[in-house]
Amino acid sequence: MSGAADRPADLKESPSQTAGPYVHIGCLPNHAGLGGPWAEDLGARPFADDAPGTRVVVTGCLLDGTGTPLRDAMVEIWQADAAGRYAGGGAAGFARRASDAETGLWRLETIKPGAVPGPDGRIQAPHLTLWIVARGINLGLHTRMYFPDETAANAADPVLGRIEQTARARTLVAEARGDGVYHFDIHLQGEKETVFFDV
Amino acid sequence: MSDAPFVARDRAWHPPALSPAYRTSVSRSPRHAPISFPQTLSETTGPVFGHDLPGPRDNDLIHNFAAPGAAAIGPRIIVHGRVTEETGRPVPGALLEVWQANAGGRYRHRKEGYIAPLDPNFGGCGRVITDADGAYHLRTVQPGAYPWPNGGNDWRPAHIHFSVFGSGFGQRLITQMYFEGDPLIWRCPILQAIPSEAAVKTLIATLDMRASVPMDCLAYRFDIVLRGRRQTLFENRMEGG
């Protein structure tokens, strides 16, 4: 038993609580109109202006079980660069957006990510990882957004392949709106419910 | 930095998505089960923020929104603690962002309509990065309780919201800190969404007289635990079995 005694007792992860309706005060204070204390909100720009890659615009909306847009949500995005690499110890590829207080829409100007290595030497299709918090959400929701013009890569993607109900896998593919604009609605509940992950 | 996968989250310890007494959760909770998959770099990596991110007053909410020479009104407190993983390993470089109401329970937010007044010298947001031991400290005023439209007469206990970035996006966590001895804690539907009393207690900061500053401010201790990374048996051989 000596080895066990050397190890600290296992701790439990701090339980999650909702971010509440005023998450912007702490996470997007300039968006909240607080006027400081810092000049730019965290995650305002996912990549430097001169970062290589194809510029794309991602728009989206979160909808509740009645089809009503959430106007108080925060969406965080984590993605690889154009070469499929995650920032090594930095924050490039991270972005944070609030749903518009009137329409519920959010908008991100970013770079289309490259394909990322997956388990067992397989390749993951280009994707964004999204984490969603809001009033009424007790534990942040993880999901992914894939690109509609990556049909072959999506078909071979190991994560999309885990979704037994193939009709539901389509909830993770954005809609192409031309000129590099992709729209991604996230349905929290109901007939079109988006796939969420326990990562 | 390790890219080892995280230990699976114990979702029975966290509040379930659907907790009807917290009424907004009813239409904002998925009905399908979440889907698991083996973690990839997309989950095991995450943004890392440098120690130069927070400014010198970002962790001092008493002063970071105040006019020169002025200070926020309310009970002056230090909030401090450590961020560790479930294994007990400290998490250095973790970014903590906090937000809260003022001493009267009023948030500085355009959607907030509570009649308690704003404090012109209090904004309500701060941030800090943990040191090499995973330790952090903030200075603020103790927030007040406030009413919210849920049940007919529901009041949130005094609380401070915490957003935590560990070293991977799979550790991302937002939670709330409460204050020892507050009788509203056990009446709150948002806290009652947490299944066990033991889990609720981990969110209650304890009065810490040793860290208080005589004739200046009290102190509360609040430790935060993030998911641990799995270790391979090749790196850590089982012992004593």
CATH label of the domain that carries residue B109: 2.60.130.10
Tally of domains within chain B: 1
Residues A132-173 have pLDDT tens digits of 999 999 999 999 999 999 999 999 999 999 999 999 999 999
CA distance B134 to B82: 5
Kindly tell me if the per-residue pLDDT of B241 is higher than 70: no
pLDDT of residue A34: 86
Query: For residues A22 and A65, is the Cβ–Cβ distance under 8 A?
Result: no
Within-domain flag for B40: no
Kindly determine whether residue B173 and residue A124, on different chains, have CB atoms separated by under 8 Å. Answer: no
Within-domain flag for B183: yes
| Average pLDDT rounded to a whole number, residues B33-53 | 95
| Average pLDDT rounded to a whole number, residues B74-89 | 97
pLDDT of residue A163: 96
Q: Which of B22, B107, B136, B220 is catalytic?
A: B107
Query: Which residue among B29, B124, B202 places its CB closest to the CB of A189?
Result: B29
Kindly determine whether residue B240 and residue A22, on different chains, have CB atoms separated by under 8 Å. Answer: no
Within-domain flag for B69: yes
Establish if B192 touches chain A: CB-CB under 8 angstroms.
Answer: no
Cα distances (Å, whole numbers) of residue A13 to B85, B93, B205: 8, 18, 15
| ipTM value for the complex | 0.95
Kindly tell me if the per-residue pLDDT of A17 is higher than 70: yes
Distance from CA of A2 to the nearest CA of B (A): 6
Structural domain that includes position A104? 40-187
pLDDT of residue A9: 59
State yes or no: is B51 an active-site residue: no
pLDDT of residue B179: 98
Kindly tell me if the per-residue pLDDT of B2 is higher than 90: no
| Average pLDDT rounded to a whole number, residues B115-133 | 97
Tally of domains within chain A: 1
pLDDT of residue A119: 82
Within-domain flag for A15: no
Q: Picking from A4-13, A143-152, A171-180, B185-194, which range would have the lowest pLDDT averaged per residue?
A: A4-13
- Where is pLDDT greater, at A16 or B237? A16
Kindly tell me if the per-residue pLDDT of B234 is higher than 70: no
Query: Which residue among B1, B43, B86 places its CB closest to the CB of A13?
Result: B86
Within-domain flag for A28: no
State yes or no: is B107 an active-site residue: yes
Kindly tell me if the per-residue pLDDT of B1 is higher than 60: no
CA distance B167 to B142: 29
Within-domain flag for A94: yes
Establish if B221 touches chain A: CB-CB under 8 angstroms.
Answer: no
Kindly determine whether residue B25 and residue A37, on different chains, have CB atoms separated by under 8 Å. Answer: no
Cα distances (Å, whole numbers) of residue A57 to A50, A130, B200: 16, 15, 41
Please give the backbone phi and psi of residue B236, each rounded to the nearest 5 degrees, phi first. Answer: -140, 90
Within-domain flag for B3: no
State yes or no: is B161 an active-site residue: yes
Establish if B17 touches chain A: CB-CB under 8 angstroms.
Answer: yes
Within-domain flag for A85: yes
Per-residue pLDDT band for A7 (boundaries 50, 70, 90) equals low
Kindly determine whether residue B225 and residue A80, on different chains, have CB atoms separated by under 8 Å. Answer: no
Structural domain that includes position B168? 50-225
CA distance A59 to A106: 6
Per-residue pLDDT band for A35 (boundaries 50, 70, 90) equals confident
Place of tokens 């002025």: B70
Predicted TM-score of the model (pTM):
0.95
Kindly tell me if the per-residue pLDDT of A1 is higher than 50: no
Per-residue pLDDT band for B230 (boundaries 50, 70, 90) equals confident
pLDDT of residue B232: 59
* Neighboring chain A residues of B14 at a CB cutoff of 8 Å: 13, 15-16, 138-139
pLDDT of residue A85: 97
Closest of B121, B137, B188 to residue B158, by C-alpha:
B188
Closest of A134, A153, A152, A131 to residue A143, by C-alpha:
A131
Q: What is the CATH number of the domain that holds A101?
A: 2.60.130.10
Percent of chain A with pLDDT over 90: 89
Kindly determine whether residue B110 and residue A32, on different chains, have CB atoms separated by under 8 Å. Answer: yes
Query: For residues B104 and B121, is the Cβ–Cβ distance under 8 A?
Result: no
